[in-house]
Structure 1
Amino acid sequence: MTSTVDASFEVLPFTRTRRHIREDGDRIFIGVGPGNSHFSAGRIGSLAGWAVIRFAQVDFVYADLHADRMFAAFGYTRERAEKRAAKEIKAVRRRILKGVEESGHPHAEIRVRELSEFQSNPVHQLPHRRVLHFLETDDEFRKGCEKMAWRFGTRTSAASPAG
């Protein structure tokens, strides 16, 4: 079942479990990656407004891990990749905080969290292990991930990694 949130987004649960999560309305995690300009502060504010109406707890989670490796894979030197990653992580956090603030909803209803906060949580470790397993054992999955990362990289990278 697809539902339109507003003119900007569409919700499409891919599995029965995801449909149940959506229907239960207990909690939603909304992931935002560094360098992803699709998630402007305005879009995040709209999404936050939609989410707090439908879920008891809303968590915006931004990737603060391994962004430097991503930029290094796009051709940046190690030093430049680390600087670019730090800059992008700060920028994504600022955009999320601004969007949440502009949504007009109390911060008690919406949390902004780093992905690294979940590293020690066993519930969140299982999906991570599964992804690593499929990256090693499923060529189609791995190629799909690589293609997605490459597409992201071509939109994120400057004309020249040094620039």
Structure 2
Amino acid sequence: MGPAVPTITVAEFEAIPFTVNCSVVYDEGEHLLVGASPGNGYFTRDRVAALLTWARRRFDSVDVVYADREVDTMLVALGYSPDRARRRANKDIRALHRRILQGIELSGSDARCTALSEFEGDPTYVSLRSDVERAMLDDPEFTGVCERTIRRFLLPRSGGTEPTAEQVDAGMRYLARELPFFLDTPAILGVGSSVSCYHVEMPLTELLLTREHGLRAVASQAYATVRPLPDQGVR
């Protein structure tokens, strides 16, 4: 067991850095990355506004990056027809984008809002994504954790039915697009250090932030679980 990792509580949110190094990067306060996913009721306008209000007091800059690729693929994996999945994905993506922009405006933040697809022409992002896709093929430990992550997402949404190979493959493609920001956000966005945050702990976090070999996060990349404190009334 290493040194205890502190829980940082500020205003109406608590931040729990995953490792001691994550605490160091968090304390630097240079950059926060908020990852947002469509079809997720967590990201309401008011919650985004509250989170950004909290973040602007703690970090020099903030980016909100939202998923907009492979969303329809995941919906097909959940049982939607391709046509219905495409319509539902477009609707959910537009709604999420709108709520993020409204949250930014309400908070008075200068946070940037960017769709994940906008990085597809960025050489650093493309290179990191290639590293992820290669590890999914060649690194059994990494692949196993990815598959467990996907199963954890799909099982409660499929009535406990074990995901098919096609469903797992869809999930792997979705993950491959997001994971570069768990590895080296500073290189992608041109900041010195960065904390990626989400409101629940991601199963891949431990592997990418603590392993000593294979695909892993750079030292300037941190992860923290950031979530509203109870009884804050944030909706």
Aligned with residue 4 of structure 1, among 9, 17, 28: 9
Is contact 1:63-1:114 (8 Å) kept? yes
Q: Which structure has greater helix proportion?
A: 1
Query: Counterpart amino acid of 1:3?
Result: I
Which residue, out of 40, 43, 50, partners 1:36? 40
Residue 146 (structure 1) aligned with residue 147 (structure 2): no
Taking only the aligned residue pairs, the percentage that are identical comes to 35
Residues in 2 aligned to 1:16 and 1:129: alpha-carbon distance in whole angstroms: 29
The one of 60, 78, 81 equivalent to 2:82 is 78
Q: What amino acid maps onto 1:2 in structure 2?
A: T
**Which stretch shifts more, 32-41 or 129-138?**
129-138
- For structure 1, which runs of at least 5 residues remain unmatched after alignment? 155-163
For residue 113 of structure 1, report the CA deviation from its aligned partner. Answer: 0.8
Deviation at 1:111, TM superposition (A): 0.9
The one-letter amino acid paired with 2:15 is V
Give TM-score, length-normalised by structure 1: 0.79
Amino acid at match of 1:12: I
Q: CA deviation at 1:123?
A: 3.4
Please state how far the C-alpha of 1:30 moved relative to its aligned partner. 0.2
SS of the residue 1:29 aligns to: strand
Partner of 2:30: 26
Q: CA RMSD in A?
A: 2.4
Measured in 1, the distance between the counterparts of 2:157 and 2:65 equals 20
Shift of 1:21: 3.0
Once the two structures are superposed, what CA deviation does each residue of 1:31-57 show, in whole Å capped at 9, x if it has no partner? 100011112111111100011111111
Could you tell me whether the CA contact under 8 Å between 1:74 and 1:153 is conserved in 2?
yes
Shift of residue 122, structure 1, vs aligned partner: 3.6
> Which residue identity lines up with residue 77 of structure 2 in the other structure?
A
Q: How does 1:23-102 map to 2 (within 5 A)?
A: 23-102=27-106
Secondary structure, in 3 states, of the residue corresponding to 1:54? Answer: coil
8 Å Cα contact 1:134-1:142 kept in structure 2: no
User: Which amino acid is 1:54 matched to?
Assistant: R
- The structure, 1 or 2, with the larger RCO (C-alpha pairs under 8 Å, 6+ apart) is 2
Greater displacement, 28-37 / 109-118: 109-118
Give the aligned partner of residue 110 of structure 1: 111
How far, CA to CA, are the matches of 2:20 and 2:125 in structure 1?
19
1:123 aligned residue: 124
Residue 152 of structure 1: CA displacement? Answer: 7.5
Q: Which amino acid aligns with 1:121?
A: D
Give the letter for the 2:59 counterpart.
F
Distance 1:60 1:152, change over 3 A: farther
Q: How many pairs are equivalent?
A: 151
Query: What's the CA shift for 1:140?
Result: 3.0
**Alignment TM-score, normalising by the size of structure 2:** 0.57
Q: Partner residue of 1:158?
A: none
